[in-house]
Amino acid sequence: MELQRYFDVNELLTPAIAKNIYDECSEKLQGKEFRVHNLLRKMNVQYVGATDDPLDDLFAHQKIHNSKFEIKVYSSFRPDKAMHIDNATTFNEYILKLEAVTETTIESFDDYVAVLKNRHDYFVANGCTVSDHGLDEMYAEDYTEKELKTLFENVRKGYQSPQYRNSNGDRLGIFFKKAGASKGASEVVYDLAGASIADVDAFEFDFDKILASAD
């Protein structure tokens, strides 16, 4: 469909003409009309929604806004990585990046929540009105604030457990909802575990046939 709409390719796709179509589309992509802005105009796009990590400086959004581009491009606050506390290594690497971006030291769970609020406020100040969450599961775990802070401290020391993600994910989910609600923002939640592709097994695909004409 993309080949037809954007490149006016209407032939039935076969391995025999694949190279010709590739060359034709590659040549067209060099033209001014195939620049991103013009492609969006061609498709009569009015709004573009991007997903941005709390670490993002949103410079690209600021640049687009200042360019007076007529199509509205909006950021959305997507803190998925901030909730992946079950992997201590990657989580601590993420915290180091947060500390660098905010020029702050994160030594406790309270510090962490404060820094995330700082980033949330920064996004709102730059015109963000939407929060976007992609979850592998909906977290629900009983906890006390004391237990939660201890779990966070253990992860900062390099320990990890699925329980950490359940408890911390549940608590952070509540935090993000409150932060968004206080500013009247919209929220989109994706249950990735419930997506159709999540229920498909690899053996259901005939990859030999699918890739038969690939180099």
148 vs 104 pLDDT, higher one: 104
| Residue 152 in this model has a pLDDT that exceeds 60 | yes
Same domain, 139 and 193: yes
Q: Which of 143, 193, 131 is nearest to 171 (CA)?
A: 143
Residue 178 maps to a domain: yes
For 8, the domain range is 1-45
> What number is the average pLDDT over the span 44-51?
89
Query: Residue 29 contacts by C-beta under 8 Å, 6 or more apart in sequence?
Result: none
Tokens encoding 175: 């935090």
Same domain, 205 and 155: yes
CB neighbours (10 Å) of residue 155? 23
Q: Which of 75, 73, 93, 76 is nearest to 84 (CA)?
A: 93
Same domain, 135 and 195: yes
Task: Give Cα separations from 4 to 17, 25, 35, 44 (angstroms).
Answer: 15, 11, 17, 16
Q: What is the pTM of this model?
A: 0.68
- The three-class DSSP label of residue 177 is helix
